[in-house]
Chains A and B, each alone.
Chain A
Amino acid sequence: MFKIRESCPDKVEDILRRFPQKKSASIPLLYLAWDTYGYVSKEAIQEVAEILGTTPAYIQGIATFYTMFPMEPRGKYHIEVCNNISCFLMGANTILETLEKKLGIQPGECSADGQFSLQAVECLAACSWGPCLHLNGKEYQQLTPEKIDEILDPLMKEAACVK
């Protein structure tokens, strides 16, 4: 398991250099591992542990504490919809329902073709511009069902072509 160290040795070095103590590198390295392996797989955890000279169990404990790290593969397009209080008041439920219907999946699920996964998440700090979602980390604000069509239709068309 040398995938991270082989594909981006400079980044590993850079991360380790940035902190007064090596252990601070665990979260930045998990981000790098996610990038390299596509999700935080067993192998990814193992490699981060090797880099830091600690046990996989210890790294696993850290990775699972933080909700952003995907411990399983996600869809090619991962959609996170805020359903906290401000977005709820501004119509997040309608947005979530629109997405569920359109994609045929429930929050926490991935579509059968592996293209889309959906998650309901906590406040994304866009409360004054809700409802909002993140698509592969990119933020979309002031959502309406029509806006969801605009965002997703091109991606769904592309997915259909690939099939």
Chain B
Amino acid sequence: MVAETRLLLERIGSPDILTVEGVLKKGGYASLKKAVTTMTPEEVRNEVKHSGLRGRGGAGFPTAMKWSFIPKNTDKPIYLCCNADESEPGTCKDRVIIDHDPHLLLEGILLTCYAIGSKQAFIYIRGEFHRGAEILAMAIEDARRHGLIGERIYGTDFSCQIEVYRGAGAYICGEETSLLTSLEGERGYPRNKPPFPAVSGLYNCPTIINNVETLAAVPLIIEKGGEWFAQFGTEKSAGTKLLCISGHVNKPGVYEVPLGTMTLREFIEDFGGGVPGGKKIKGVIPGGSSMPVMRDEELDIPLTFEDIQAAGSSLGSGAIIVMDETVDMVEAALIIAKFYAHESCGQCTPCREGARWFVQIVEAIHTGQGQPGDVEMLLEICKSEYTSICPLWTAAVWPVRAFVTKFRDEFEA
């Protein structure tokens, strides 16, 4: 069995790392000092480019490439928004960093601000993370007192502020353009792209949005080098990844592993501890509830972004949800369909209406009121998957389509 490889989570559990004094003793903020005193922003960006780091928020976009979309010589302020909305069902990894090593995240934010020329970062954190927001606010205050946030950091020309902004219960605000509308104090409606946020984002200024786990990887990359980071994982899935495993397993939890060193099934058995009671697996959702469910016989593939994609699903946010043979797949589909219907912001007709129809039809099937043609109707609605402003509608379609096609007998029973 491959062991857990704790790079991002290395300090987790050591005493005192919630304070600046404690974290400095563990090498905290050394990368920040190194970057601002000995490297140019371009050199920082290059290290991240060589690391092969890809976004950990779900879409897997190459991080350095995203940063490069900021217009050169803009006279507007540049903003960084850290996406700490963590709301995709199954996902509970970012909070491990927020709650247990907040200074790692702050250091990653400061380094990224330095790299992209930003003086102001916001951490958009879901409202339900009361404790996490408090921990971050205290860590920021502490870092300010030590001169690590604020004016002329380490005596250089680099100045940077970080603010925490609490959302208030809306899954859609994890979508990056919705996050920005929400941070502007409005109802969190997604916006059409283009313009992309890197060109016109928060208050119409160039803005980079990155996930917590993405930003938390930056200090390591600067400390040890991009090439060092890239040696973990595979070419397309560089570095380690935090995986959350939940559902029917003996050892649910958050584990950090290098991708490509085991199969999806091995991860479920070795890290998740297998299924309780020796039951069989019926289905696995490999990347958060919006990703297509996989059947038991599909699990013997390498655990990487690219292999899971080739199998027709996605590692998404890294949330692996295991369902044993006793699960009623119609009921599972119904819970997921209800979630997306509840969270649709209602701007686009296919999403607003389609998500509701999904619930009505699947609920009818679940309560024994199904009609002939229901399955065909569900699949027909799925065809409008790419007709909306934001990908929430796609996120609602994928699970329904996968549940219906892979467990069709249960929907037609």
Q: Report A's interface with B, CB cutoff 8 A.
A: 18-21, 23-28, 30-31, 61-62, 65-69, 83-86, 88-90, 122-130, 134, 137-139
Q: Nearest 5 A-B pairs (CB), nearest first?
A: A68-B169, A66-B168, A26-B185, A86-B246, A67-B169
By a CB distance below 8 angstroms, the chain B residues around A129 are 92, 252-253
Q: Are B167 and A86 in contact (CB under 8 A)?
A: no
Distance in angstroms from B205 CB to nearest chain A CB is 9
Q: Are B130 and A20 in contact (CB under 8 A)?
A: no
Q: Are A84 and B247 in contact (CB under 8 A)?
A: no
By a CB distance below 8 angstroms, the chain B residues around A137 are 128, 130
User: Is there a chain A Cβ closer than 8 Å to B398's Cβ?
Assistant: no
Instruction: Take A24-B183, A25-B185, A89-B246 as given contacts and tell me if A84 and B168 are in contact as well, using a CB distance cutoff of 8 Å.
Output: no
B84 nearest CB neighbor, chain A only: A125
User: Is there a chain A Cβ closer than 8 Å to B339's Cβ?
Assistant: yes
User: Digit string of B156-188 for contact with A (CB within 8 Å is 1, else 0)?
Assistant: 000000010111111100000000001111111
By a CB distance below 8 angstroms, the chain B residues around A127 are 89-92, 244, 246, 252, 319, 321
Distance in angstroms from A12 CB to nearest chain B CB is 15
By a CB distance below 8 angstroms, the chain A residues around B187 are 61-62, 65
Q: Give the contacting residue for B339; candidates A30, A31, A84, A138; CB below 8 A.
A: A84
Instruction: Take A21-B184, A24-B183, A31-B168 as given contacts and tell me if A123 and B321 are in contact as well, using a CB distance cutoff of 8 Å.
Output: no
Alpha-carbon distance between A123 and B92 when the two chains are bound, in angstroms: 10
Alpha-carbon distance between A62 and B345 when the two chains are bound, in angstroms: 12
By a CB distance below 8 angstroms, the chain A residues around B203 are 20-21
User: Digit string of B63-94 for contact with A (CB within 8 Å is 1, else 0)?
Assistant: 00000000000000100000000111111101
A-B contact pairs, 25 of them (CB 8 A): A21-B184, A23-B186, A24-B183, A24-B185, A26-B185, A65-B187, A66-B170, A66-B188, A69-B168, A85-B247, A85-B289, A86-B90, A86-B246, A89-B321, A89-B327, A123-B89, A124-B128, A125-B126, A126-B92, A127-B90, A127-B92, A128-B246, A128-B252, A130-B246, A134-B128
Q: Are B95 and A125 in contact (CB under 8 A)?
A: yes
By a CB distance below 8 angstroms, the chain B residues around A66 are 127, 167-170, 188
Distance in angstroms from B316 CB to nearest chain A CB is 13
Distance in angstroms from A77 CB to nearest chain B CB is 15
By a CB distance below 8 angstroms, the chain A residues around B128 are 68, 124-125, 134, 137
By a CB distance below 8 angstroms, the chain B residues around A24 are 165, 183-185
Alpha-carbon distance between A126 and B244 when the two chains are bound, in angstroms: 10
By a CB distance below 8 angstroms, the chain A residues around B182 are 27
Alpha-carbon distance between A39 and B321 when the two chains are bound, in angstroms: 36
Q: How many residues of B contact A (CB 8 A)?
A: 54
Q: Are B91 and A30 in contact (CB under 8 A)?
A: no
By a CB distance below 8 angstroms, the chain B residues around A125 are 86-87, 91-92, 94-95, 126, 128-129
User: Is there a chain A Cβ closer than 8 Å to B2's Cβ?
Assistant: no
A122 nearest CB neighbor, chain B only: B339
Alpha-carbon distance between A66 and B187 when the two chains are bound, in angstroms: 8
Q: Are B343 and A122 in contact (CB under 8 A)?
A: yes
By a CB distance below 8 angstroms, the chain A residues around B383 are none
Distance in angstroms from A53 CB to nearest chain B CB is 13
User: Is there a chain A Cβ closer than 8 Å to B191's Cβ?
Assistant: no
Q: Give the contacting residue for B244; candidates A31, A62, A128; CB below 8 A.
A: A128
Alpha-carbon distance between A68 and B133 when the two chains are bound, in angstroms: 15
Alpha-carbon distance between A160 and B95 when the two chains are bound, in angstroms: 37
Q: Are A86 and B185 in contact (CB under 8 A)?
A: no
* Besides A24-B184, A122-B89, 20 new A-B residue pairs in contact (Cβ under 8 A), listed by A number: A18-B163, A20-B77, A23-B184, A24-B165, A27-B166, A65-B187, A66-B168, A67-B169, A68-B127, A69-B168, A85-B336, A88-B335, A90-B247, A124-B128, A125-B87, A125-B91, A127-B89, A127-B92, A127-B246, A128-B253
Alpha-carbon distance between A134 and B185 when the two chains are bound, in angstroms: 25
By a CB distance below 8 angstroms, the chain B residues around A26 are 185-186
A18 nearest CB neighbor, chain B only: B163
By a CB distance below 8 angstroms, the chain B residues around A128 are 92, 244-246, 252-254
User: Is there a chain A Cβ closer than 8 Å to B263's Cβ?
Assistant: no
Alpha-carbon distance between A27 and B183 when the two chains are bound, in angstroms: 8
Alpha-carbon distance between A9 and B208 when the two chains are bound, in angstroms: 33
Alpha-carbon distance between A86 and B254 when the two chains are bound, in angstroms: 14
By a CB distance below 8 angstroms, the chain B residues around A124 are 128
Distance in angstroms from B201 CB to nearest chain A CB is 12
Alpha-carbon distance between A126 and B165 when the two chains are bound, in angstroms: 21
User: Is there a chain A Cβ closer than 8 Å to B26's Cβ?
Assistant: no
User: Is there a chain A Cβ closer than 8 Å to B261's Cβ?
Assistant: no
User: Is there a chain A Cβ closer than 8 Å to B342's Cβ?
Assistant: yes
Q: Are A86 and B184 in contact (CB under 8 A)?
A: no
By a CB distance below 8 angstroms, the chain A residues around B327 are 89
By a CB distance below 8 angstroms, the chain B residues around A123 are 87-91, 289, 339
Alpha-carbon distance between A86 and B171 when the two chains are bound, in angstroms: 16
User: Is there a chain A Cβ closer than 8 Å to B131's Cβ?
Assistant: yes
Among A21, A28, A65, A127, residue most surrounded by chain B Cβ atoms (within 10 Å): A127
By a CB distance below 8 angstroms, the chain B residues around A84 are 89, 289, 335, 339
Alpha-carbon distance between A132 and B149 when the two chains are bound, in angstroms: 35
Alpha-carbon distance between A128 and B126 when the two chains are bound, in angstroms: 18
